[in-house]
Amino acid sequence: MALPAFTFDPHPSPVDADERARLLVDPGFGRVFTDHMVTIRYSSAAGWHDARIGPREPLTIDTATAVLHYAQEIFEGLKAYRLADGGTALFRPERNAARFRDSARRMAMAELPEALFLESIRRLVQTEREWIPTLDGGALYLRPFMIASEVFLGVKPSAEYIFAVIASSVGAYFKGGAPAVSLWISENYTRAAPGGTGAAKCGGNYASSLVAQAEAIRQGCDQVLFLDAAERRWIEELGGMNIFFVFDDGMLATPPLTGTILPGITRDSILRIARDLGFEVREEPYAIDQCRADAESGRLREAFACGTAAVVTPIGRMLSRQGDFTIGGGGPGQTTQRLRQTLVGIQTGVAEDRHGWLERLD
């Protein structure tokens, strides 16, 4: 089937250049939005249609719209970067397009063709390129998402969907470089069970993780670390980031993708960069008790979390009802910083892009 052509309806009163410059001084994360958005509609009768870039505006939906009741919703997150030479680039956007399809399949939603996903992203970035901050660590964060839009309270896959992409100017997730964060090891809650939706990027996973995150904050920690649902023993990931460990013999490890962990694109990139830099890297299960023992013996030198939003975040300390332990010196480790620098270097066009990950837009 031919892909629908996009229409463009420019915003009648976009934010002016002075106001935009003021907003981009310190945009924070997820607070500053651009003027336009993408929408594409789907119905089982008409397929994908009405592809449009128009003013960013509220979606008007019926109160019986399926997503409001049964949470048939998925999303993605990727960034457009300002390169050192002034150009604009995306980082491995085809991976987001493929993962969006995988998420749709798991949630019994219509699968958006990858070419249409990518065209949406490229067009929106080209329309909003003035919104990419020039500050260090800044980027245009793109949020594609899709909701079940059929007006029907029966429990079944929706016959209609709305796909949309909005864009947000963001600064560095952590100002002044990433400080080491602390993790609360959740014993009361799990994020994903075998056969569940852990590998799909769906809003429901986040909804169910918020109570655990709130518990982590109450315990004085920054983030929650989830263990596997079956044995409550194996380290899986954080609420929205994957996790890596660095050992004293130079080995790196991360939990394997067994269906309960979100297959992060940052995770995949770090695996390859680490191998390129000569590290031995293993995808293997790591038990929380072993982690504690290794931290105490000094065998575990560093740990870090990774994802598009915060890139690479050092982990300094872990805490549970059994007490707390410090990893390495408790601050950002050398290998963590080296991996972060290499990844950011590729994303901003200053390090060699040997895998062809960067897609230049202009």
Ligand X SMILES: *Cc1c(COP(=O)(O)O)cnc(C)c1O
- Which tokens belong to 103? 């998420």
CA atoms of 224 and 226, how far apart (whole Å): 6
Residue with tokens 């890596």: 244
Q: Would the CA dihedral through 161, 163, 164, 170 be positive or negative?
A: positive
Query: In the set 104, 170, 262, 271, which binds ligand X (CB under 6 A)?
Result: 262
**Per-residue contact string for residues 133-162; x = within reach of ligand X by CB under 6 A:** ------------------------------
Shortest distance in whole angstroms from residue 229 CB to ligand X: 14
Residue type, position 234, single letter: W
| Count of beta carbons in the 10 Å neighbourhood of residue 129 | 16
The count of chain residues that interact with ligand X, using the rule CB under 6 A, is 13
For residues 36 and 53, is the Cβ–Cβ distance under 8 A? yes
- Strand (E) or helix (H) holding 225: strand 223-227
User: 139-148 and 78-82: which strand pairing?
Assistant: antiparallel
Interacting positions 42-81 with ligand X (CB under 6 A):
77
Shortest distance in whole angstroms from residue 125 CB to ligand X: 17
Query: In the set 197, 308, 320, 348, which binds ligand X (CB under 6 A)?
Result: 308
Cβ distance to ligand X smaller for residue 161 or 226: 226
Q: Which stretch binds ligand X (CB under 6 A): 103-111, 148-156, 159-167, 259-267?
A: 259-267
Shortest distance in whole angstroms from residue 209 CB to ligand X: 8
Query: In the set 201, 292, 301, 317, which binds ligand X (CB under 6 A)?
Result: 201
> Does residue 201 carry a catalytic annotation?
yes
How distant, in Å, are the alpha carbons of 169, 190, 191, 308 from that of 204?
Answer: 25, 13, 10, 19
Closest CA relative to residue 119, chosen from 1, 268, 7, 203: 7
Closest CA relative to residue 138, chosen from 263, 61, 287, 25: 25
Query: In the set 65, 168, 254, 266, which binds ligand X (CB under 6 A)?
Result: 266
Shortest distance in whole angstroms from residue 266 CB to ligand X: 3
Closest CA relative to residue 67, chosen from 177, 182, 189, 158: 158
Interacting positions 226-245 with ligand X (CB under 6 A):
237, 240-242
Q: Which stretch binds ligand X (CB under 6 A): 81-89, 101-109, 262-270, 277-285?
A: 262-270
Query: In the set 27, 133, 138, 307, which binds ligand X (CB under 6 A)?
Result: 307
User: What does the binding site for ligand X look like in residue numbers (CB under 6 A)?
Assistant: 77, 201, 237, 240-242, 262, 264-267, 307-308
Residues with catalytic function:
201
